[in-house]
Structure 1
Amino acid sequence: MNLLDRLIAWGAPERAIRRQMARKVLAHYDAIDKSAPRTRRVRRDTASPDMIVQRSASELRAYVRDLERNHDLTRGALRVLVNNIVGATGIGIEPQPRRTDGTIHQDYAAALRTAWQDWCRRPEVTHSYTWPQAQRMLARAWIRDGESFAQHLIGPIASLDHGTQVPYSLELFEADMIPLDYDDGDRIRQGIERNGWGRAVGYWVYRDHPLQFGTYPSRQYLRRIGAERMLHIATTDRIGQLRGVSEFASVLTRLDDIKDYEESERIAAKVAAMLTAYVKRGTPDMHDPESTARDEDGNPIPRELRLSPGMILDSLAVGEEIGMIKSDRPNPNLITFRQGQLRAVAAGIGASYSSVSRDYNGTYSAQRQELVEQWVHYATLADEFVSQCVRPVWEQFVQVAHLSGVARVPRDVVPGSVDDCLYIAQSMPWIDPLKEALAWEKLCQAGFASEVEAIRRRGGNPADVLEQIATWRERASERGLHFSSAAPPPPAPATAQEDDADE
């Protein structure tokens, strides 16, 4: 009870009890109880999500980019995330347009696959990246900077060569191209124009990279791009947040500490390796000052003892001996400390500790359990990337392919299924291929899984695998070869004469 409660209790105990009961009704979390003894600093931020991003996003981007350039662990962790989200061949697409009877229109799907393979060679305006490379660039900027952008460019455009049969290209942007500080006080906030419901309707983009010459250009160099022509891939933590924040935001200080600590340990170990020995002298009465060599001016000449393996020192004066400098470097606790910090970093960014640290010690069961639990995080990030990047690109591509006449939509395709497809992200790798293969074989034989699912889990395209197998079998049969993996031919149907003979 505070002083006022004690005074009230002295004169009116019942009223003091009612005050105490009312205070319990209004109780709150202990973490923000101002009357509790303080052992830590309470951090409060009641700003809106956009205001928090406004204050921090650009500095966080610069921070992470510096660590990516100069810190091997940060660069490796970023590569782990990108490779497990996009992979070496990118997120694949398997067209599945439907006929009215529900079956897949194979001819139209084949036409889309052919046009798509041609487009994937030069999907963006500079012709510098293939589609898998462009996906990795967009995903890398998304994870590192918190967001990335791309513009849809369709049809004939002055001085633009699409370079593909389908006249459709992407123009890739970094987050710096959309200014965070552009706000008109009404509908435009952080470079994004919204309608009354908060939906983005336009983006204000610099005509060139704003830091190309070291300073931000004026607003007159901005151009407006409609939201229907923009891809915005962003990591948002709160509802209504417009711009993204780096995935590394919560672990930056820890990564920087690891970098500084390892650098300090390396320098200490290098200095310790340079120090070898020293001459230890006895008491002053054992040392004869006259025995010290001096120059012409009478100053003592420094003595040099050059050490070599197996040498015998016979030039020590009376009372002198060689002492070795003790060094505690390299620090034996460095590995343990580093492992603990990297586990926390991996948990913060949603990556696998084994992949970030390159520490693969452990049993098969432990490694598989880590992989199974971790793969959910990769699958979630891949789903976000598909929904914000790959799906809009595919839908736009199908529409442009039809309008340009490269892949016309047949009349017997259900209109709503024209751009239906399967998005094939990275599959969980096999730790022990023999055990995994036997397990899938049993599942397929028992009818609990299909061969198509097994092929997709290995990261393959069932249609491509089937075509490869058929082509290989045909070529092998032409040369009279038969492999054990080939199924035996089905028995020939019995003729009428054979049936009569059996009777």
Structure 2
Amino acid sequence: MSKRPQPTVTDRIVNWFNPVSGLKRMQARQVQAYYEAAKPDRTRKFRRDTGGPNVQTQQGAVAIRNQARHLEQNHDIARGILRTLMTNIVGPKGIGIEPQPRTKDGKIHKEYAAALLEAWRDWQTKPDVTGQYHWARIQRMLVKTWLRDGEAFVQLLSGPVPLLDHGTKIPFSLEIFEPDMVPYSLNDTRLGIRQGIELNAWGKPRAYWVHKQHPTDGIVMLSSNNTKPVPASRILHIASTDRIGQIRGVSEFASVITRLEDIKDYEESERVAAKISAMLTAYVKRGNPEMLDPDTLPRDSEGNIAPREISMQPGTIVDTLEVGEEIGLIDSKRPNPNLITFRQGQLKALAAGVGATYSSVARDYNGTFSAQRQELIEQWSNYATLTDEFVGNIIQPIWEAFVRAAALSGVVPVPKGLKEGSADDALFIGQSMPWIDPLKEANGWATLVRAGFASETEVMRKRGVNPLDVLDQIQKFRNDAKDRDLVFDSDAAWKVVSENIYSDSSDED
């Protein structure tokens, strides 16, 4: 917003003769001044975007998706960004699930939870229809596809399915596929199909029209009947959307593709220049042309002036120069000393656009502990937001469908006395914020726990582990150690005894 406009000479004259007109004049000028950003001029480009959200995606989503895929395959920074985001969203082991079914009195039904967890562990080995991927890898592939392409799809298949062997105790499998399988070009107002998705009057998906084969694998010829409708109840769709009412997603790289390509081209130019600079090129600089005698220049058999050859090796002394001649070297001023500074600035802007930390994108960890921790804390909320979106759109619906299939198949039936609607309740455990300095972090958490401001369970959750698993591991370790007459410093009982022994011995001294 600009400053309040000051009255001009013309304004004062109009006010003198007609105050009403003068007031209207000033009000109009003031309204205009408030929205100077809405006026284009010769020094600022003015973008007019009046298209709806689905018009924009129809025009550019596929092109952006193809560029993002090309960058992932050919640009190390783009590939590193995807890996950084993927690692912080799902991690190496994927999103953890802790069943939380409850009895009518509100307590967790331990037997049913244990049975679900056992069946879930068996299912994780071969959860997809191809049998090629385990559960954690499927999560990583879906996250990478979602961020790079803008969206990803999963089909839920339960019970008997023609030609499908589920391969696990629970008859439940996943079919994951890329956004290419749902054609953007399929639009039919009569059927309510928009960009390959059939919608009802309220805009809720009823069915997804999916290609029977991948449209770009070059094996089959596409035709009008190459797609089939799949009920929306069997499809999970996660998409990166920017506007309300947007149906399909757009790549997270949409706003930074130009910068990525510029960085790639600039670095390549600098590398080529540095490579050429490393190849020593010399020339002989001669004096005044009037001092040169053409008759003394070397000539070939045909009488033409022969090129001058000077052998150069390490330690060579050149003593064949004529009067007024000297040897010069071509210097390309490479490597460019400003390359690092420029690259750092571009990567900081790039990291802000994709929602990753600069340190992780640039692999630059030269900051202080406080600076790196502050960067991680501020950025971790973005990772947690993406994790929550992935859990809500993919993980939780898959878990609910799994519990349903387990019950209907009779492998893990729902027990009596269970609280209605709590059979598929679960705690979804995402990645925890890593510790930059483990000693400082551990001391801080220990202080909070002793003061009563935090619980041991919370600390374990922050570290990304299941408290019940930790207790089982500790109990087993303590029992094994006791059977072998071993006592470790981590045993609280031994710690109390040892402190008393040392204090008694000090008193005697």
Compute the TM-score of the two structures, normalised by the length of structure 1: 0.92
Gaps of at least 5 residues in structure 2 are 497-509
Shift of 1:214: 8.2
- Segment drifting more, 13-22 vs 78-87: 13-22
Match of 1:167 among 152, 166, 171: 171
Match of 2:211 among 206, 209, 226: 206
Q: Which residue of 2 aligns with 1:59?
A: 63
Q: Which residue of 2 aligns with 1:44?
A: 48
Q: Deviations over 1:104-134 (max 9, x none)?
A: 1111111111011111111111111111100
Shift of 1:216: 7.4
Which amino acid letter does the alignment assign opposite residue 43 of structure 2? Answer: T
Match of 1:196 among 190, 201, 213: 201
Q: Which residue of 2 aligns with 1:311?
A: 316
Aligned-pair identity (%): 57
Match of 1:288 among 271, 288, 293: 293
Q: Which residue of 1 aligns with 2:37?
A: 31
Counterparts of 1:88 and 1:221, CA distance in 2: 37
Q: 1:132 to 1:330 in 2, by over 3 A?
A: same
Which amino acid letter does the alignment assign opposite residue 33 of structure 1? Answer: K
Match of 1:414 among 411, 419, 427: 419
Q: Which residue of 2 aligns with 1:140?
A: 144
Shift of 1:474: 1.4
Q: Secondary structure at the match of 1:218?
A: coil
Q: Secondary structure at the match of 1:93?
A: strand
Q: Which residue of 2 aligns with 1:339?
A: 344
Q: Deviations over 1:383-417 (max 9, x none)?
A: 00000100100010111111111211111211221
Is 1:251 the counterpart of 2:274? The answer is no
Which amino acid letter does the alignment assign opposite residue 105 of structure 1? Answer: H
Shift of 1:481: 1.1
Which amino acid letter does the alignment assign opposite residue 380 of structure 1? Answer: T
Shift of 1:25: 7.4
Is 1:129 the counterpart of 2:133? The answer is yes
Which amino acid letter does the alignment assign opposite residue 396 of structure 1? Answer: A
Q: 1:224 to 1:249 in 2, by over 3 A?
A: same
Show the 5 A alignment for 1:462-481: 462-481=467-486
Q: 1:201 to 1:124 in 2, by over 3 A?
A: same
| Count of aligned pairs | 485
Q: 1:150 to 1:216 in 2, by over 3 A?
A: farther
Q: Which residue of 2 aligns with 1:299?
A: 304
Shift of 1:46: 0.7
Is the Cα contact below 8 Å between 1:364 and 1:431 reproduced in 2? yes
Q: Secondary structure at the match of 1:249?
A: coil
Q: Which residue of 1 aligns with 2:505?
A: none
Q: Secondary structure at the match of 1:279?
A: strand
Shift of 1:19: 4.2
Match of 1:74 among 78, 89, 102: 78
Match of 2:104 among 90, 100, 103: 100
Compute the TM-score of the two structures, normalised by the length of structure 2: 0.91
Q: 1:479 to 1:206 in 2, by over 3 A?
A: same
Is 1:115 the counterpart of 2:119? The answer is yes
Q: Which residue of 2 aligns with 1:279?
A: 284
Q: 1:214 to 1:45 in 2, by over 3 A?
A: farther
Match of 1:449 among 442, 454, 474: 454
Counterparts of 1:232 and 1:409, CA distance in 2: 28
Q: Deviations over 1:297-318 (max 9, x none)?
A: 1012212222111111122222
Pairwise CA RMSD: 2.1
Q: 1:214 to 1:29 in 2, by over 3 A?
A: farther
Counterparts of 1:377 and 1:139, CA distance in 2: 14
Which amino acid letter does the alignment assign opposite residue 125 of structure 1? Answer: V
Q: 1:317 to 1:220 in 2, by over 3 A?
A: same
Is the Cα contact below 8 Å between 1:287 and 1:319 reproduced in 2? no
Q: Which residue of 2 aligns with 1:496?
A: none
Gaps of at least 5 residues in structure 1 are 492-503
Shift of 1:487: 2.2
Shift of 1:12: 7.5
Counterparts of 2:203 and 2:301, CA distance in 1: 89
Shift of 1:150: 0.7
Shift of 1:11: 13
Is 1:176 the counterpart of 2:177? The answer is no
Q: Secondary structure at the match of 1:388?
A: helix
Is the Cα contact below 8 Å between 1:443 and 1:449 reproduced in 2? yes
Show the 5 A alignment for 1:288-437: 288-437=293-442
Match of 2:266 among 246, 261, 273: 261
Counterparts of 2:364 and 2:348, CA distance in 1: 11
Counterparts of 1:319 and 1:146, CA distance in 2: 67
Shift of 1:490: 12
Show the 5 A alignment for 1:230-245: 230-245=235-250
Shift of 1:296: 1.4
Counterparts of 1:100 and 1:377, CA distance in 2: 37
Counterparts of 1:409 and 1:472, CA distance in 2: 34
Which amino acid letter does the alignment assign opposite residue 112 of structure 1? Answer: L
Shift of 1:23: 2.3
Counterparts of 1:293 and 1:165, CA distance in 2: 90
Is the Cα contact below 8 Å between 1:287 and 1:318 reproduced in 2? no
- Segment drifting more, 280-289 vs 142-151: 280-289
Is the Cα contact below 8 Å between 1:123 and 1:130 reproduced in 2? yes
- Segment drifting more, 264-273 vs 237-246: 264-273
Q: Secondary structure at the match of 1:248?
A: coil
Q: Which residue of 2 aligns with 1:20?
A: 25
Q: Deviations over 1:48-95 (max 9, x none)?
A: 100000000000000101111111101101111111101100010011
Counterparts of 2:74 and 2:381, CA distance in 1: 30
Is the Cα contact below 8 Å between 1:409 and 1:418 reproduced in 2? yes
Shift of 1:190: 0.5
